[in-house]
Amino acid sequence: MYKKFIMMIFILLMMSACTNNETLDTGYLDVSQEDISTIYKPVDKTTAKKALPYDIKSPSYFPFEHEQTKVVISGWENSKENIVSFIQYPSTEEDAKWQEGSISQPAIPHISYTIANFDRYYSRYSNTGDYIDVDINDDITGLFKMNKAIKGAELHWFNGEMEYNLQLIYFSDDRDKLKTELLKIANSI
């Protein structure tokens, strides 16, 4: 009897260790806004790592000195399975500085980085004709688009089941420079 009890506990422990939690752990988060999607209050990266069902792979290359904002997490269409995380990296090389939590920010160079564990926009973007295909590396093709109004560009790609989006904003009017920098950032993730 005792051996069966020990064996059952052992099996339960093994099963719980092998279980892959694919949902958002909202115990670490506070709701900021609940509408079409649930948006949680910004959290530091350590807290985000505890709450998210996926790893946040951060860029190691940046074209300027920067700071990192807190991570904004949202449950797409109020889901705990379809999760989006968003981080910004504003330049610290400018006189103007960003203020955490402010809606209005100065027009300084920055990178916006979004990760989703589902096909959030990629398929839709790939069918618009507004983007050009670019090779990120040998295995991954991305979608690139220049945005002259904000002196920037965006790069979107899908890797496995994860969608990645990078925007380099208020940086340059030079299309080739923007493309080169975005590809460097993407390859550093």
Number of Cβ within 10 Å of residue 168's Cβ equals 27
> What pLDDT does 22 receive?
84
Give me the helices (H) in 19-157, please: 45-51, 122-126
Domain range list for the chain:
22-187
Q: How far is CA 40 from CA 17, 36, 72, 152, 177, in A?
A: 28, 13, 7, 27, 35
Please give the model's pTM, rounded to 2 decimal places.
Answer: 0.83
> What pLDDT does 19 receive?
36
> What pLDDT does 102 receive?
62
115, 94 contact by CB (below 8 A):
no
97, 89 contact by CB (below 8 A):
no
Name the nearest CA neighbour of 181 among 4, 62, 60, 15: 62
The CATH number, out of the four listed (3.40.1000, 1.20.920, 3.40.50, 4.10.240), of the domain defined by the range 22-187: 3.40.1000
> What pLDDT does 17 receive?
38
> What pLDDT does 96 receive?
65
Each residue's pLDDT tens digit in the chain (189 positions)? 545 444 444 444 444 333 345 899 999 999 999 988 999 999 999 999 999 999 999 999 999 999 989 999 999 888 899 999 999 999 998 776 656 666 667 688 999 999 999 999 999 999 998 999 999 998 999 999 999 999 999 999 999 899 999 999 999 999 999 999 999 999 999
> What pLDDT does 138 receive?
87
